């Protein structure tokens, strides 16, 4: 084969090498693409089909048109889950972003032991979610350390946080912020270290104080990183599932029921996979709509 290619005309030889390189390249990406197609792309395509059917796995899927979506509009549990999802996202996103940014700014200084503190901040993100839920449920219990601490300030007779319809969601949000702030801190920290130090020196020479340097140097330099972090935080908050499942299981009542858990209940507990698929389509469209809005907003800010 080598002698044939070597003795061929230049155009034919280039074409043969191009095909060979293409085959080699595709062979490298084929395993990942096949895995993506089988485990992600095909299920998503099937999701859009089953969302318009009545299907419970044990019988064939019956096409029902928009019946599932009309049922969603009348389902009080769905609206409660949607409201809780937006409530969780509206608090979790800014709190996590501000906390992660603050930690990154602090650990980007010459603080002694900063490598240790970076590890400590990141550790909750890789800790078992079950272990996190068990520990925090004990902390939030009626006689737990948190209520005992609040009693010092006169806040007595507080119920267990995860057993209270009013306090369960704030408790889950606090744990979510604590768990994820370390991961996003590392992303922001990486962005901070790409900002040239000469910009801070020039700003200081011009008389800018620390606050002005933050707003006029740090924030503009972090814009790509903050945009990425915000998009990832938004998607993660809208599809939060595991933390709520193990901490409160959507309770008490439906106080912490979110869309991902609503989909799980309808599909894997009540065996209504067609209805669950339609709910998943709604969540998918919400994520897409908000993400597209964020991209358009970011492009307008750049222009």
- Give the model's pLDDT for residue 3: 47
- Dump the DSSP string for 43-60: HHHHHHHHTTEE--SSS-
Q: How confident is the model at residue 303 (pLDDT cuts 50, 70, 90)?
A: low
pLDDT at residue 11 in the model: 66
The reported pLDDT for the residue numbered 261 is 95
Band (pLDDT 50/70/90 cuts) for residue 206 is: confident
* Rounded Cα distance, 78 and 95, in Å: 26
Question: Do you know the residue count of the chain?
Answer: 303
Q: How many CA atoms lie within 13 A of 139 on its CB side?
A: 13
For the chain, give the mean pLDDT: 89
Nearest 5°: phi and psi at 144? Answer: -80, 175
Residue 260 has what pLDDT? 95
Structural domains of the chain sorted by starting position, each given as residue range(s) with its CATH number in brackets = 2-50 (no CATH), 67-302 (1.10.3720.10)
Res. 217: pLDDT tops 60: yes
The token pair that represents 47 in the structure block:
């999701």
Round to whole Å and give the CA distance between 21 and 101: 44
Q: Write out pLDDT tens, residues 67-125.
A: 999 999 999 999 999 999 999 999 999 999 999 999 999 888 877 888 888 888 899 99
Residue 2 has pLDDT above 60, yes or no: no
């Amino acid at each position: 084969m080598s002698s044939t290619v070597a003795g061929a005309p230049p155009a034919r030889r280039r074409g043969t090498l191009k095909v060979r390189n293409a085959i080699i390249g595709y062979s490298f990406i084929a395993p990942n693409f096949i895995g993506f197609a089988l485990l992600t792309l095909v299920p998503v395509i099937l999701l859009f089909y089953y969302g318009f059917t009545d299907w419970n796995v044990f019988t064939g899927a019956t096409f029902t048109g928009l019946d599932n979506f009309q049922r969603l509009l009348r389902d009080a549990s769905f609206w409660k889950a949607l409201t809780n999802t937006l409530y969780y996202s509206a608090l979790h996103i800014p709190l996590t972003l501000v906390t992660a940014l603050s930690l990154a700014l602090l650990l980007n200084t010459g603080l002694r032991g900063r490598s240790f503190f970076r590890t400590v901040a990141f550790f909750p993100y890789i800790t078992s979610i079950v272990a996190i839920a068990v520990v925090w449920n004990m902390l939030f219990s009626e006689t737990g350390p948190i209520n005992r601490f609040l009693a010092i300030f006169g806040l007595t007779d507080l119920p267990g946080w995860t057993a209270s319809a009013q306090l369960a969601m704030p408790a889950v949000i606090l744990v979510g912020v604590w768990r994820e702030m370390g991961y996003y801190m590392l992303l922001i920290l990486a962005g901070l270290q790409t900002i040239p130090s000469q910009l801070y020196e020039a700003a200081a020479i011009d008389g800018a104080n620390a606050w002005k340097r933050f707003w006029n140097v740090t924030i503009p330099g972090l814009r790509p990183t903050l945009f990425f972090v915000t998009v990832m935080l938004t998607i993660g908050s809208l599809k939060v599932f595991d933390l709520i499942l193990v901490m409160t299981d959507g309770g008490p009542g439906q106080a912490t029921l979110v869309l991902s858990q609503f989909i799980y209940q309808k599909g894997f507990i009540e065996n209504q996979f067609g209805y669950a698929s339609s709910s998943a389509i709604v969540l998918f469209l919400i994520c897409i709509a908000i993400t597209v809005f964020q991209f358009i907003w970011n492009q307008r800010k750049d222009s």
